Structure 1
Amino acid sequence: MKKSFTLIELIISVMLLSLLFFAMSKVILEFKSSIKNLNREYKNFYNNNLMIKVLYYDLLNASKLKIVKSKNPNFIRLYLQTSNSLYNIPNPYVVWYVSRNKNSLIRIEDTSPITLPNENFNFIDKFAENIKVFNIYKRKNKLLIFIKENKKPIFFEMIKGD
């Protein structure tokens, strides 16, 4: 007599395999979701670090610095001339401000002094959106930079000679 599987054994094995595939598909979907969330968090972290680094070096290397209050008390405009350039411009003029479009934090770099609301600039960078507060507090030779998005606030202090 030939040894073979019975119909009930085959049905049970097919049911067990289908449960295993169902469970694995859930695991794979969760894994994909986790990867997407991690990529988004990494991108936010990288963009915030880049923004802080560029702003820090702009302020650190500034030869001229002017902080102007805007109509909104939560925002300032920062005008400076610095040796820090993202586009290899020698001693560029730079403006940091929050635009009305999605409350975006914008950095403009140009070879000549910048006047706003003119929009004919070659080098414009958007560093963040949904900014609630962008302010710089100056006291003697100290600067406190405070930026608040929807998430945690970003702030740092630096000593700047006059």
Structure 2
Amino acid sequence: MKRAFTLIELMVSIALTVVVVFFLYKALDTQKQSNAIITRRSLVISNKDALFKLFYADIYESNQTHVQTTFNKDFDIVYLATKNSLHQIPFAYVVYYVNPQDKTLVRLESAHPFKLPVDLEKIQYLFADTLIKNVKKFRLFTAMSKNSREPLPGETRKSKKEKTEQKYLLFFLSNQEKNIFEIFK
């Protein structure tokens, strides 16, 4: 007697194969969605890290820092004279400000000192970099760190060559995400 598969056994095996393939496809699709979310988050984190490194390098390498509060108390204009340059300028003058029309944080860099609004004849010497979009708040606060306090009455400084440390607190809010950077110089 010959033993062979019946039609019903073949149909059941095909149905089971289809069910297994369907679940494998769903698992693969879920994995792709998960990878996309992780990739988006890692890009945000790497952008945040790059932004922090840029702020840190600009502030740490600066000789002069001036913060000007605009008429809108949510935004500051930060003027820096720094050795850090994105455009290979040996000693750059950098301004961070929020463009009021489209709420983007912009970094302006020049080889010559300038103030906002920029004169039309100086605009050709400026490099502009858009850093963040949809900024709702951009503030820079300065404070003396604990190590650079004023001496108490009767107390003398140990060394006149001792450097005073400056502490900067950079705060910006974009897309309902708060970012606070603490920078010591």
Instruction: Please give the TM-score of this superposition, normalised by the length of structure 2.
Output: 0.78
Aligned-pair CA distance for 1:121: 5.6
Aligned twin of 1:23:
23
Aligned-pair CA distance for 1:156: 2.6
Aligned twin of 2:135:
131
Contact 1:134-1:147 within 8 A present in 2 as well: yes
SS state at 1:22 partner:
helix
Aligned twin of 2:95:
95
Contact 1:98-1:131 within 8 A present in 2 as well: yes
The separation in 1 between residues aligned to 2:6 and 2:71, in whole angstroms, is 82
Which runs of structure 2 are paired with 1:4-15 in the superposition (5 Å)?
Answer: 4-15=4-15
Contact 2:92-2:110 within 8 A present in 1 as well: yes
Aligned twin of 2:154:
none
Q: Which runs of 5+ in 2 are unaligned?
A: 145-165
Aligned-pair CA distance for 1:122: 4.9
Contact 2:111-2:125 within 8 A present in 1 as well: no
Q: Which amino acid aligns with 1:130?
A: N
Contact 1:104-1:128 within 8 A present in 2 as well: yes
Aligned twin of 2:44:
44
Say which one has the larger Rg.
2
Aligned-pair CA distance for 1:110: 1.5
Aligned twin of 2:183:
158
Note the aligned Cα RMSD (angstroms): 1.9
Q: Which amino acid aligns with 1:93?
A: Y
The separation in 1 between residues aligned to 2:100 and 2:24, in whole angstroms, is 47
Which runs of structure 2 are paired with 1:141-152 in the superposition (5 Å)?
Answer: 141-152=166-177
Aligned twin of 1:67:
67
Q: Which runs of 5+ in 1 are unaligned?
A: none
Aligned-pair CA distance for 1:33: 0.9
Aligned-pair CA distance for 1:142: 2.9
SS state at 1:135 partner:
strand
The separation in 2 between residues aligned to 1:105 and 1:3, in whole angstroms, is 77
Q: Which amino acid aligns with 2:27?
A: V
Aligned-pair CA distance for 1:125: 1.8
SS state at 1:132 partner:
strand
Task: Name the count of aligned residue pairs.
Answer: 160
Inter-CA distance 13–122: structure 2 relative to 1 (3 Å threshold):
farther
The separation in 1 between residues aligned to 2:117 and 2:15, in whole angstroms, is 68
Aligned-pair CA distance for 1:51: 0.6
